[in-house]
Structure 1
């Protein structure tokens, strides 16, 4: 077979642009600038995008075009079999002589040799995850970390296809900032493609464009896909096709590319497929018939089963295809001549990824199915090994059946594409899966046989007794209902907060078991409820915005419709269609108009009331468009740096030609000023930004102020009154400029390597916040770090409320709210990752938008509770019996009295340091206890503060009686008005005291363990027998309970006359021998007793019903424990503020999110109070969640929510519905 002489094409065809092609590289100015900006800010850059978008050309040619060669030395690197070996070979090849093979040492030598920084360009990194081993991937992650932490003058650019980006998430443990400086290479816009075509032809000497505008337009129309997009490889092949067709007609130069020629070639939807078919045919036609299949066989060998390129040497190609070298060599030569295959030294590969996709698409249906099976097998095996070979990650029977159908072909493909060890590991995984399912089948068969035996006995029994049969049916229905409710409750974790709460509430009402109760508590207390879910009849929402006044919302739908909603989410008229690919969309201040910037730079103004749309001007090079807060003007900048002010009333626009060209421009928050950053005029302007900031009047006529920054400006924002600017610079630093004092403060950096991509600030500029990786930072007005907060997961973004008092932190599917003291204020939960979240202009609502296109509106003030905010931390609080008044004591020794609605009704400052506060039922009298236990009585009516005799010893739960102890040990009783009502006939010296709930009985315990009981009714002091480690009085006052010390711990019970009622041996000495008890209480029902030991991580509850002692295990020391008023749950508080609710059988029902300092139930259980630093929160009690839900979500709305849940999650709500569905199936 003879080869024809190669035809020299002037086009790059499928080859990437290199540094030598700078004069022929067009259409990527913005990406060049962005890439250089990232390289200036970090030593590790990630470039990704779809296949065929020109990533390799950008980093090889675009970078060389943007940065002089004297400033850096680039080294492109491909994997080529083993990435480490390729890296070492590339580095040593630059050096004349070296003795080391260690990569970091080689890099250092190369830097010294080149006398400038080294840029390592790791291209087509997806090959590492397609063909590389786990060890090779682990080594590469460690290498990147070593370079990142070194002082070498070396930068690294990772280039990877977008569909392999997820594989890099495994590197984040070693490289937390891997995704901080990333760049997505988008498909080229039509405007940029015009630049590519005209620029390419302008650099080819012997090719001419005739009627350039029309010819270029026809080329673009013929290459536009059905999805309205362009493929760069297809365009290059198309241009080459035009040249070849005309060159064949007239070989003598120049070659004329005319509209007629473009129309003659016409539209080729699959130009690359056509080219591949033509070249294959041209080669096979010159081969004998028996050798013609070799061309397809060889091309298929260059494509993996995943549809990507695969490299081959001649030996591996011979082994893979089974073809002789004598045939391989000439066919490879022809494939190389036709530019289908590229040769690099001894390595062959396809010329471009796009060819691999075309070849993969042309495979037979059977081969594609085999490849799909192998892909799934590889993914499943990777997850199986990562999760420590869990049985639930073995292949399911369905996958095994597919493998068995093509077992020989799959095993052969595995042997060809993988090493022997890797292929054996995959096949062992398949055999292990088969053996596992065989064991499961045997176990299920044995279980089924046992069930069948039981069923036979049951049927025989049911045949005799019909009544038992009916009872069994009822039991089956009941069990099905319980199981189904459990299944529904477990699925609630995947629902949005309102759906979940309504769903679990129904399950709890039907069956209030511990699981349903736990789910109800968790979804009510630990998850905020949105006020509105914004939907567009199933169409995904891709953009959201508030109007400047916050009265309207803008929703941008996936189908290019824009809609307006009220501040509460109600629809305001029909939507408006705006054609094109949006670059930006903004809503006017009054919510009536919308301005949209669409590719390639066209500006549209829409009226959402009249539903009219008009284009503003004829400029198609607009880069940015910003509407003024009053909605009267639109400020735009174009490619030439000119600013134009458009008026929304239709009057003539004004271009500010007297103003120098700008790089950045925008309005201040109030719209009274214009902020600009001029464009540099020197030759380096495309890679540098100016250091100067200018502030003009809103019309751009008068320069009001200016500032020169230490480094080039990336972005700048101005606060509400224009007195302060936040400026981000090229080197990653952020500055605060106070225009009043003329001072420029850099934000304090705790780590010099931290670069803050975006800083948010409050409306007055006094508080700033930003997130870097997994840490949130807060600064004050002077740029000093106020606080930090670390998370276990990466933070997407943070936002500050306009008043700066609340921070919104987005982490995956959750949005956390933190107050000014970084205390937890609530969590906004979503079912998908949150793409954006921000406050309304008035700070009263929050708008969140998920990646799946759903939008939720939340109120900042939580509807579930009433908050009592304080300026200082709350040290203690008390609640009146009916909950009408709450009294708080702060760290500043201020006392506040609040009503149920959260309003302060009275306050007083004290002169000394106070520790406790108690209030009468009407809150007219407040008892204040200082750290020395001295008691003062504050009468709010006459404003007097009177000291009581003695120190406080105890007080009754109803706060009607207070017990004090004088220095001589005398005990005095006081009523809620601060009046003495009785005295105790026995000395309280060296005794602990316990008053009954109503204060009418008293129990004393001496140091040696003796108990003394006294009742105001009979006035007798009764000494109880034995030595007691602790003692208490039952809630009804009828019984005394003691923990008797002996050979074994015993609970002893006496009546009020001191006569023994019962004893209960606990069969342990754990509770009394060598331990100090901190709490010993009887439950409201009298059926349980709670015991706490000092310094222990457990609480103990004894049950009269079971006679057993249950342990409630905690992670930290248990400091407080309290029964709920109905006695159905136990609330505990462990050190570091973790509060937990338990059922009486020891099941955890609720773990409160956020640290809790104190808590308390209202006496009737209707309200639950928590103290979290400086906030007191008033919640509905656990038994009042359902009434709250019925009050706040109507029955009609709940039914609608349940119907949506049932449809969305395919739930069955009744046994008979399941039977009917089974019958239909």
Structure 2
């Protein structure tokens, strides 16, 4: 029995009763009647809005940061006090922001005469012409006369999919937005594991971390508030067994938590579980029938294990059977919507087709997209014309299924695309190691012609460098051989000179033998004297060296130096003593 997630059209019923579960969709202002369990966080965030113009909301994936802002905070404002512009990165965060501002400004002109065209901010030493961004904010304000709230959702995408230039441009925009005269508030929502990436941002904009709110996972008390609130809602088509409301909420919490000892659960798991609970009670996949949640029905469900993983596996198998494709092919296609880091990566249908593994027909893309949008695993953004995984918790499940080969393939894809995305004049060729890493995966990749050409260019460049290196080595070897030939020639000349000299020396020696014989006795006497003197000098020098060693052992370096100097004066040919003196002097 496969579980099909609710379609958007089933949330509002003909009898005015409403299916109260959002599944993996975020809550919005229109869902304020069914949004429970976050009153404390909403109040804190509401207070912060009036204390600062830049706020940071962070927390783990699945804690409901988006719903907290777009529903919890939004419902605190009257419509005339709240102009919210929800901004995701898309292709580029700065472009997405500009598009949102243009849409909000409508037909209002950016330029205005007289004092409206002056910068009257407190930081401005004198009235100066407004910047384009300031004019845009002014145009929006004059169009709506409401405080502007720029809500940057899933801000971690800037650091996962963006680049340094995009980051710096956005930082400069924030700096400028903080100086404008109009009421502009900025709320940045980010997964807490990416807080470290904000270091450079915070260094340039110190206000970034001054007002921040951490969104915690749902504990038992909050889960009770959610379930009991939904059960008591007049327009809800879900009711709880009378007198068992608390017991049902506790049982749901413990069922989702399973064998873990955690004190909290993730919201996506709660939403998927409650949807399964409803289907088990009613069997109505249109989500229109009234449901009564009872403890007996809950017990009948038994242990569901990881409800999110099970739901994902059910839908993949169902889609594979429907499209007559191997399940692995469907898993691979879904995996394309997840980054190497395990976060969502929005793709258009054309981008999905380009990234399909070799052997997967491109026509399959539209069928898979339709199937997973229907089952609510994927959602389509009308503004960005892109599909994305419905929630980061699903992205984590997909990431966990990847094999080492799949991860390596994704690394190769990122390496190629990140390099080719740079302007041709600024690109660097792939290194030899990178080409060796890429080569085994090329048959599995569906690359654009530009990407293939850059790989070919890199290979040509590598071949040129290797050829140049071989040529350099050959030239160096030839140069070495030439030097050896020259040395051999010089050695031959030297040997000939020695032989000639030896001949003349022999002749001269013969003539000098008689004279030498006469001087032998005198020389022997002189040698005996010199030998005795030399032995005496050697003994004295050895004694002085020994004395110096003793001084060094006693850390008396100055005395050791003095003794060694005396030893060197006795025999200036002793270069070893000279070197010891130099060493001691330099220490």
* TM-score over 0.5 (shorter chain): yes
Equivalent-residue separation in structure 2 for 1:191 and 1:511 (angstroms):
76
1:88, distance to aligned residue in structure 2 (A): 1.9
Aligned to 1:222: 255
The 5 Å alignment of 1:882-1031 reads none
1:200, distance to aligned residue in structure 2 (A): 2.7
Equivalent-residue separation in structure 2 for 1:404 and 1:263 (angstroms):
56
Aligned to 1:363: 402
Matched positions, count:
425
1:93, distance to aligned residue in structure 2 (A): 1.7
Q: Which has more strand, going by share of residues?
A: 1
Equivalent-residue separation in structure 1 for 2:554 and 2:393 (angstroms):
59
Q: Name the CA shift for 1:135/1:205 in 2 (closer, same or farther; >3 Å).
A: same
Equivalent-residue separation in structure 1 for 2:284 and 2:71 (angstroms):
34
Q: Name the CA shift for 1:33/1:299 in 2 (closer, same or farther; >3 Å).
A: same
The 5 Å alignment of 1:569-584 reads none
Equivalent-residue separation in structure 2 for 1:133 and 1:326 (angstroms):
32
Q: Name the CA shift for 1:128/1:265 in 2 (closer, same or farther; >3 Å).
A: same
Q: Name the CA shift for 1:371/1:297 in 2 (closer, same or farther; >3 Å).
A: closer
Q: Is 1:339 matched with 2:371?
A: no
Q: Name the CA shift for 1:161/1:321 in 2 (closer, same or farther; >3 Å).
A: same
- CA contact under 8 A between 1:92 and 1:98: conserved in structure 2? no
Aligned to 1:208: 239
Equivalent-residue separation in structure 1 for 2:229 and 2:163 (angstroms):
43
Equivalent-residue separation in structure 2 for 1:414 and 1:318 (angstroms):
9
Q: Is 1:240 matched with 2:271?
A: no
The alignment's TM-score, normalised by the length of structure 2, stands at 0.63
Deviations 1:790-818 (A, max 9, x none): xxxxxxxxxxxxxxxxxxxxxxxxxxxxx
Q: Name the CA shift for 1:276/1:164 in 2 (closer, same or farther; >3 Å).
A: same
Deviations 1:745-775 (A, max 9, x none): xxxxxxxxxxxxxxxxxxxxxxxxxxxxxxx
- CA contact under 8 A between 2:62 and 2:268: conserved in structure 1? yes
Larger radius of gyration: 2
Aligned to 1:409: 441
Query: Is the partner of 2:207 in helix, strand or coil?
Result: coil
1:166, distance to aligned residue in structure 2 (A): 1.5
2:40 to 30, 42, 48: 30
1:230, distance to aligned residue in structure 2 (A): 0.7
Equivalent-residue separation in structure 2 for 1:132 and 1:420 (angstroms):
19
Aligned to 1:981: none
Aligned to 2:392: 353
Aligned to 1:174: 204
The alignment's TM-score, normalised by the length of structure 1, stands at 0.32
Q: Name the CA shift for 1:165/1:205 in 2 (closer, same or farther; >3 Å).
A: same
Equivalent-residue separation in structure 2 for 1:42 and 1:19 (angstroms):
22
Query: Is the partner of 1:172 in helix, strand or coil?
Result: helix
- CA contact under 8 A between 1:122 and 1:157: conserved in structure 2? yes
Q: Is 1:77 matched with 2:87?
A: yes
1:98, distance to aligned residue in structure 2 (A): 4.5
Higher relative contact order (CA 8 A, sep 6+): 2
Unpaired runs of at least 5, structure 2: 12-18, 112-131, 420-429, 478-552, 562-584
Aligned to 1:14: 24
Query: Is the partner of 2:134 in helix, strand or coil?
Result: helix
- CA contact under 8 A between 2:5 and 2:376: conserved in structure 1? no
Equivalent-residue separation in structure 2 for 1:511 and 1:227 (angstroms):
67
Equivalent-residue separation in structure 2 for 1:265 and 1:406 (angstroms):
48
- CA contact under 8 A between 2:89 and 2:157: conserved in structure 1? yes
Q: Name the CA shift for 1:283/1:148 in 2 (closer, same or farther; >3 Å).
A: same
1:369, distance to aligned residue in structure 2 (A): 4.9
Deviations 1:143-180 (A, max 9, x none): 01111122231010111111222111122332123222
The 5 Å alignment of 1:428-827 reads none
Q: Is 1:104 matched with 2:134?
A: yes
Equivalent-residue separation in structure 2 for 1:410 and 1:112 (angstroms):
55
Aligned to 2:218: 188
Equivalent-residue separation in structure 2 for 1:321 and 1:27 (angstroms):
41
Aligned to 1:770: none
The 5 Å alignment of 1:148-159 reads 148-159=178-189
- CA contact under 8 A between 1:370 and 1:410: conserved in structure 2? no
2:309 to 273, 278, 292: 273
Q: Is 1:282 matched with 2:318?
A: yes
1:412, distance to aligned residue in structure 2 (A): 7.2
- CA contact under 8 A between 1:123 and 1:160: conserved in structure 2? yes
Equivalent-residue separation in structure 2 for 1:309 and 1:359 (angstroms):
10
Query: Is the partner of 2:268 in helix, strand or coil?
Result: helix
Query: Is the partner of 1:46 in helix, strand or coil?
Result: strand
Aligned to 1:67: 77
Unpaired runs of at least 5, structure 1: 382-393, 447-509, 513-1083, 1088-1143, 1148-1225
Aligned to 2:577: none
Equivalent-residue separation in structure 1 for 2:155 and 2:333 (angstroms):
24
Equivalent-residue separation in structure 1 for 2:340 and 2:250 (angstroms):
38
Aligned to 1:313: 348
Deviations 1:641-692 (A, max 9, x none): xxxxxxxxxxxxxxxxxxxxxxxxxxxxxxxxxxxxxxxxxxxxxxxxxxxx
Cα RMSD between the aligned structures? 4.2
Aligned to 1:231: 266
- CA contact under 8 A between 2:412 and 2:437: conserved in structure 1? no
Query: Is the partner of 1:125 in helix, strand or coil?
Result: coil
Equivalent-residue separation in structure 2 for 1:212 and 1:364 (angstroms):
44
Equivalent-residue separation in structure 1 for 2:108 and 2:316 (angstroms):
46
1:39 to 41, 49, 55: 49
